[in-house]
């Protein structure tokens, strides 16, 4: 085996480990924060929603610049390692803070640092394996990510039951240490940084200057399918982001002592389902269609919202959460693949990811605030139904206006021609 091939093999294994350990780091405390603030700090649902939304807004402001940084930098491993440390330190400070602004500021810092992980992991993956193997690699990434989330959730549940809700903060520190070690094991020479931003010349053996000049940033506004996809992503997360925190709050109100442990059960149940869903996307999306998988992810949300309103039974709520494993498992794996389709050979893959994740974060920020206000005014069932209706709108937009991006890319590969520009895809 050549040195380059050996480096890529090592990089693949290191990416597996990095995705596993970053699972508990890249999303910060997530729904555990709502449980902690509700049960330990005695915050009301509306205050929790506002604090989480402010933190998410900080992430929104950092998203697109983070993507641009990933496109530009050739020290992607160092950038991710630094972000992992920042997220962990910001979260470890929470047990010594109780005021609204200290908590909100610490979580805003964590969110702003955490946005670097999705585009950076996708960029390194593309830089290692190339476009042809990218869908499979992303499916593998997401499988290990969900496995890491499931393991972390199970450990967090047991630790919280024995030691209290603050145990999840220290689990994050352990996972962060594992992620740092994994990132450093990725051989630098295995990453083609031109390919990692969506340029293909060096891997495909073209002329040295061919395809190495990135498109202007205006491509983010002129690629109609990218704009439609961003709207769909925003609606997906406007509907989805608040569902798990709302379930966690309902469980905590029924049994304070078991609230965090039951939340961990919800997360673990969903993550277990996400693993085969991500694997399915990796193996079948290129054959079945990228849009079809995204439609399936959207279609799960209205069903899940309605089912949450039918019972407050703990087992029922945890069981319905399995559907989140289907929707979120598909979405996490297919999102970067669709962006890579649309930005192929533009050199703007990661900044486009940042822009789409910005739309995602806007939806998530509004989701928690909206859901918190609806709960206070009309109750939990009304909040779930409102979120389900939003998801139905996203499903209609995707069905009617988003093209099948796989078809264009497949035709390009068959004909061995220069990949079409985003404006050409939009014209189809």
Q: Is 204 contained in some domain?
A: no
CA 226 to chain centre: 17
Q: Is 420 contained in some domain?
A: yes
CA separation for the pair 333, 321 (Å, rounded): 19
Range of the domain at 167: 8-188+218-427
CA separation for the pair 338, 346 (Å, rounded): 14
Provide the number of structural domains found in the chain: 1
Which pLDDT value is given to residue 44? 79
How crowded is residue 311: how many other Cβ atoms within 10 Å of its Cβ? 12
Q: Is 203 contained in some domain?
A: no
How does pLDDT run across 245-301, given as a tens digit for each residue? 888 888 777 766 666 667 777 777 787 888 899 999 999 999 999 999 999 999 999
Which pLDDT value is given to residue 37? 80
Q: Is 270 contained in some domain?
A: yes
Classify 267 as helix, strand or coil.
helix
Share of the chain above pLDDT 90, in %: 43
- 44-58, 270-284, 319-333 — which is least confidently predicted? 44-58
Phi (first) and psi of residue 242, to 5 degrees = -85, -10
Classify 41 as helix, strand or coil.
coil
Mean model confidence pLDDT for the chain: 84
Q: Is 266 contained in some domain?
A: yes
Q: Is 104 contained in some domain?
A: yes
Q: Is 193 contained in some domain?
A: no
Q: Is 395 contained in some domain?
A: yes
DSSP 64-119: HHHHHHHHH-S-HHHHHHHHHHHHHHHHHTGGG--SHHHHHHHHHHHHHHHTTHHH
Write the CATH number for 355: 1.20.1250.20
- 5-14, 99-108, 195-204, 295-304 — which is least confidently predicted? 195-204
CA separation for the pair 345, 424 (Å, rounded): 13
CA separation for the pair 188, 255 (Å, rounded): 49
CA separation for the pair 143, 273 (Å, rounded): 10
Enter the DSSP assignment of 420: P
The residue among 33 and 297 whose pLDDT is bigger is 297
């Amino acid at each position: 085996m050549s040195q380059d091939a050996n480096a890529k093999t090592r990089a693949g294994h290191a990416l597996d480990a990095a995705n596993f350990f970053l699972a508990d780091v890249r999303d910060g405390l997530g729904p555990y924060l709502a449980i902690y603030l509700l049960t330990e700090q005695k915050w009301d649902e509306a205050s929790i929603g506002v604090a989480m939304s402010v933190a998410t807004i900080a992430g929104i402001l950092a998203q697109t610049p983070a993507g641009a940084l990933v496109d530009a930098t050739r020290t992607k491993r160092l950038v991710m390692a630094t972000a992992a440390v920042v997220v962990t330190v910001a979260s470890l400070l929470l047990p010594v803070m109780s005021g609204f602004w200290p908590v909100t500021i610490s979580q805003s810092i964590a969110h702003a640092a955490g946005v670097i992980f999705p585009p950076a992991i996708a960029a390194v993956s593309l830089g290692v394996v190339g476009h042809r193997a990218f869908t499979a690699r992303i499916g593998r990434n997401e499988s290990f990510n969900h496995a890491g989330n499931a393991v972390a959730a199970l450990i967090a549940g047991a630790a919280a039951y024995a030691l209290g809700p603050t145990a999840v903060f220290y689990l994050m520190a352990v996972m962060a240490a594992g992620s740092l070690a994994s990132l450093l094991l990725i051989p630098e020479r295995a990453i083609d940084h031109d390919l990692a931003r969506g340029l293909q010349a060096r891997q495909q053996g073209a002329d040295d200057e061919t395809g190495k000049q990135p498109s202007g940033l205006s491509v983010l506004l002129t690629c109609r399918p990218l704009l439609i996809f961003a709207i769909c992503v925003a609606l997906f997360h406007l509907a989805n982001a608040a569902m798990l925190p709302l379930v966690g709050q309902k469980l905590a109100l029924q049994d304070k002592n078991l609230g965090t442990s039951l939340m961990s059960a919800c997360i673990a149940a969903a993550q277990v389902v996400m693993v085969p869903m991500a694997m399915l996307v990796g193996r079948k999306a290129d054959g079945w269609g990228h849009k079809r998988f995204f439609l399936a992810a959207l279609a799960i949300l209205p069903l899940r919202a309605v089912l949450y309103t039918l019972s407050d039974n703990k087992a029922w709520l945890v069981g319905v959460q399995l559907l989140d494993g289907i929707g979120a498992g598909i979405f996490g794996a297919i999102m970067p693949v669709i962006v890579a389709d649309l930005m192929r050979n533009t050199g703007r893959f990661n900044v486009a990811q940042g822009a789409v994740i910005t739309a995602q974060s806007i939806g998530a920020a509004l989701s928690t605030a909206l859901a918190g206000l609806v709960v206070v005014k009309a109750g939990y069932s009304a909040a779930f139904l409102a979120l389900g209706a939003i998801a139905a709108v996203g499903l209609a937009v995707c069905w009617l206006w988003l093209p099948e991006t796989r078809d264009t890319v497949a035709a390009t590969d068959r004909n061995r021609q220069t990949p079409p520009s985003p404006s050409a895809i939009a014209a189809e």
